[in-house]
Structure 1
Amino acid sequence: MREITKKELEQLVQRRPELQVCSEALAQATQLLAEVYRRGGKLLCCGNGGSAADAAHIVGELMKSFCLPRPVTADEKSALLASSAKNGAMLAENLHRALPAVSLAGEISLSTAFANDAIPQLTFAQQVFGLGNAGDALLAISTSGNSENCVYAAETAKAKGMQVIALTGAKGSALSAIADVTVKAPETETYRIQECHLPLYHALCLALEAEFFAKDAE
């Protein structure tokens, strides 16, 4: 992990000292995802309610510039210019490099169809089964750590050869028993756990952006 990446994680503790207890697991999650992205993999995210909104939020930070510029590479610029004499320059100027991520909570048509035709608790698992590949990662967000649809998704991810990160509350859980890394917010009340989750995943996204898009990135 690059020094600039470590600094992003250290700054979280400076801002939110109560999250010091999460720092080691958060660093492990960052390292795991950095390796996934270096291999050309992607991240799938899932959660319910507020955690579904968090999953979408994470995807938004990873798929475009967050705090650092992410200009396209020279090769990408050449390909875009070659693709369209009219729009290639505009595309090359305005598109951002991405860290591929997908929220499984956003596929309403698929989720409702599968819930109606099969088993509702397996809607995330079905998407993991269809989209996930060996070398990808799943981030399952659950304040209890026991949400059935997230647990089924995590089990399916492991069967696909994926790695699993869980973002939960302080208590042990079914997800933490499955996950390669569990980041446990130091709270037990749902809304307080969610208040911790946002700075935790912001730090994760900032660290990943620094890892790949800081000016001295190799």
Structure 2
Amino acid sequence: MTTKEQYYIDELVNRYPKLESIKYEIVRAYESIRDVYENGGKLLVAGNGGSASDSEHIVGELMKRFDMPRPVSDEFREKLIQVDGNRGKELADKLEGSLPAIALTTHEALTTAYSNDVDGKLTVAQQLSGYGKCGDAFIGISTSGNSENILHAVVTAKALGLKTIGLTGRTGGVLANMVDVSVIVPEVETYRIQELHLPIYHCWCRMLENYFWCKTC
């Protein structure tokens, strides 16, 4: 890790001492996501209930600025202005760099149709089969580690050649033994698990942004 990446991890653990025991797994998951982005891949994310909101939250932090400016490249800026001098200039000034990510919890027409026509527990797997490409990554969020829709999604992701990361709690459940990297927060109650998930993925987003956009750090 870079000095800055180490700083972010140390800061996370200082603020949330319970995470000290899983620091290595947090770093491994981050490095997996970073490497996927560095090689031109994308991130797919899904979770149940409150964790579905977490999946959307993660995508929101990656697709626009999180903590620092993300100017578009000079090449893209020039192309925008070439296409339309006025609108292109506004776009060049206001568009932000993105780390491509998709939450597989927001496509209501697709998921309700598939639930009705086929099988509700496979809606995430169905989307992975369409969006997922070898070299991408999938984060499955399940506080118990036993959510069937996430487990089916992991099987699909692995068959497609995606890196798989589980964000969970309690004992890690079935999910912990299926994914490439399992981050099991040391809590049992669902809401307490979710309270620790948020600072972990905020740390990942912050580190990713710093890695790809802070050229002087």
TM-score normalised by length of structure 1 = 0.97
TM alignment of 1:41-80, pairs within 5 A? 41-80=41-80
Q: Does 1:136 align with 2:136?
A: yes
Q: Match of 2:166?
A: 166
Identity %: 47
Q: Match of 2:110?
A: 110
Aligned partners of 1:172, 1:16: CA distance in 2, in Å?
19
Q: Match of 2:119?
A: 119
Larger RCO: 1 or 2 (CA < 8 Å, sep 6+): 1
Structure 2, unpaired ranges of 5+:
none
Matched to 1:53, the amino acid is S
Matched to 2:125, the amino acid is A
CA contact (8 A) 1:114 1:120 kept: yes
Matched to 1:142, the amino acid is S
Q: Match of 2:101?
A: 101
Note the alpha carbon deviations across 1:63-89, whole angstroms, 9 max, x for none: 000001101111111111112122011
Matched to 2:70, the amino acid is R
Note the alpha carbon deviations across 1:90-137, whole angstroms, 9 max, x for none: 101011101110000001110000000101100000000000000000
CA contact (8 A) 1:6 1:207 kept: no
Aligned partners of 1:180, 1:216: CA distance in 2, in Å?
32
TM-score normalised by length of structure 2 = 0.97
Q: CA deviation at 1:2?
A: 2.5
Matched to 1:7, the amino acid is Y
Q: Which runs of 4+ in 1 moved over 6 A?
A: none
Of 167-176 and 99-108, deviating more is: 167-176
Q: Aligned with 1:32: secondary structure?
A: helix
Note the alpha carbon deviations across 1:138-191, whole angstroms, 9 max, x for none: 000000011000000010000000010000003032111111101111101111
Aligned partners of 1:84, 1:22: CA distance in 2, in Å?
50
Q: CA deviation at 1:9?
A: 1.6
Matched to 1:48, the amino acid is N
Q: Match of 1:203?
A: 203
